Every structure is written in C-alpha cells, then in structure tokens.
Amino acid sequence: MTRKHLTEDQIQRMIASDPDAPEATDEQIAQAKPFTETFPALAEIMRKNVGGRPKADNPKVAVSLRLDQDVVARFKASGPGWQTRMNRALRDAAGL
C-alpha cells in the first residue's frame, strides 16, 4: 500500500475546512490559562498516575561491560531473560 504525500497547501486547506478545529483568536489565546490552573484536581490525578513500572526497592545499575562473544552467545541462546540469568550467575560467582 502506497501513501500519498500531501502538500503543505493541501494540509492547510484541510485544516481550514475542519469545523471542529477552528483557529484560536488572539483574544482567546490571551485568555488562556495553564491546564493545572484550570483543572487542578485532574492535573493532580494525572501527575500521580504517571504509569510505568513501580519503583524498585533495590534498583539495577546500568553499566557498560565488555564480555567475550561466546559467553554472551551462550546466555542469549537460552532465550528471553538471559540478562537476568547472567546477573544471577554473577551474583553466585561473587558469593551473594
């Protein structure tokens, strides 16, 4: 499927013809308020609900480490989770 690329003129005509998205006037822009000022309760909920993974009690540390190719290949060959298994092997080797 090929996509037709629109020219800037075509895009501007489409924007101008959309009744649901009129351009804001200078007066409207001057009266605009920040979202947090207009909807403080909703803004607070959104601030608290940032999503993502919960904070770990013992977060990992990103490092750059050069390892032999065959060592990495062996761990990767065992499938998804190879980094966790490598971490476990290093913990065992360190006596942790």
**Tokens 């309760």 sit on residue:** 41
The pTM score is: 0.45
Phi and psi for 67 in degrees, rounded to 5? -120, 160
Q: What is the pLDDT of residues 17-45, one digit of tens each?
A: 888 888 889 999 999 999 999 999 999 88
Look-up of token digits 């920040």: 34
Burial (Cβ within 10 Å: 0-12, 13-18, ≥19) of residue 77? exposed
CA angle 57, 62, 66 (to 5 degrees): 140
Number of helices (H), then strands (E), belonging to the chain: the values are 6, 0
31 vs 26: CA distance, rounded Å: 9
pLDDT category of residue 3 using cuts at 50, 70 and 90? confident
